[in-house]
Amino acid sequence: MTNEQILENAKYRYEKDNDAFAEQTVERRAFVFSAHPEIKTAFDAAESASSALLRACADGSSGGTIEALRVKYNLALSEQRSRLIEAGFAPDLLDFKPRCSLCRDTGYVNTAVCSCFEGYIQEERRRSISSLLVTGNESFDNFSLSFYPNEYSDHMATILEVARHFANDFEGASKNLYFFGAPGLGKTFLSACIARVVANKGFSVVYDGFISIMTVAEGYKFGRFGSLADYREQYEQYFDCDLLIIDDLGSEMSNSFTASVLYEIINGRLLSGKKTIISSNIDPDGLDERYGAKIHSRIWGEFVVMGFVGEDIRAQKKNM
């Protein structure tokens, strides 16, 4: 998702929860009024006095008129609260109370995003990469070098450090990342570690397998599997997100259209200064033959190329 989509989704959920919370006040009032008609009478009087006071202030009435209405409102409010206390309720039971006292459920304090709304934004960022965060423990601290043979441990430690630096200094990263190697060596897991850190920094992250990307591209370019509009937003997010993670490059059936889509995405993101991570089973020296010289050149020139080595970690865990 793009930042705009994440913000829109977060706002929708935030406002929906605010509405549900406000509805609790409505239901609470209805319960009290049905059991205590005298409280409803007092409440209606206070509401009427409040409306009259607000109208007078808006109309620019004289100070004396406004003061008289203010006294009337305070008396009506006092009567309402006295009735509530007599019935065994808290005096402010009928008052509307926002969920957040800092922003009063607007989501902003002055021009800054309130912490209550920020929580919704961060949740949307996590949702946007949920397909990548499979186990929930994808973090650099959990990327264990113990699964790699001793002769490869220094090499893999270097890859881990490069990935950690890329994530921690995402704003200043000058290169993209190309992970290659056999299945089960930690390429996707390390991509997920990066995605978690980058998303938590407030950047938009999109993760997709290249086969899925090609399905979207065919739908967008040719109107297959549905209307062109159905796929436009999905295809555009590959260009608009702050970090795009392309997984399993090379698992698709390769042809000239595949190569053109891959080049369009990679080159478009390079031109806009947006970062990309690619994981693949293809040695970068084989990119020329499979996708052409232009993609081969872009990968070698604009990506940090890192080969994963060792034994299948999934198989190792299964035998533990």
Helix/strand/coil percent split, the chain, to 5: 65, 10, 25
pLDDT values of the chain reduced to their tens digit, one per residue, 320 residues: 556 777 788 898 999 999 999 999 999 999 999 999 999 999 999 999 999 999 999 988 898 999 999 999 999 999 999 999 999 999 999 998 899 989 999 999 888 888 898 888 877 777 766 655 555 677 898 888 988 989 999 999 999 999 999 999 998 888 999 999 998 899 989 998 998 899 888 888 888 889 888 888 888 887 665 556 667 877 888 998 899 999 989 888 888 999 999 999 999 999 999 999 999 999 888 899 899 999 999 999 999 999 999 888 878 887 77
Residues in contact with 67: Cβ distance below 8 Å, sequence separation at least 6, in sequence order = none
* Residues 307, 283 contacting (CB under 8 angstroms): yes
Cα separation, 11 vs 152, in Å, equals 47
Say what the pTM is. 0.66
Question: What domains sit in the chain, N to C, each tagged with a CATH number?
Answer: 3-116 (no CATH), 129-318 (3.40.50.300)
The three-point CA angle 23-80-26 to 5° equals 10
* Residues 296, 264 contacting (CB under 8 angstroms): no
Which DSSP symbol is given to 44? Answer: H
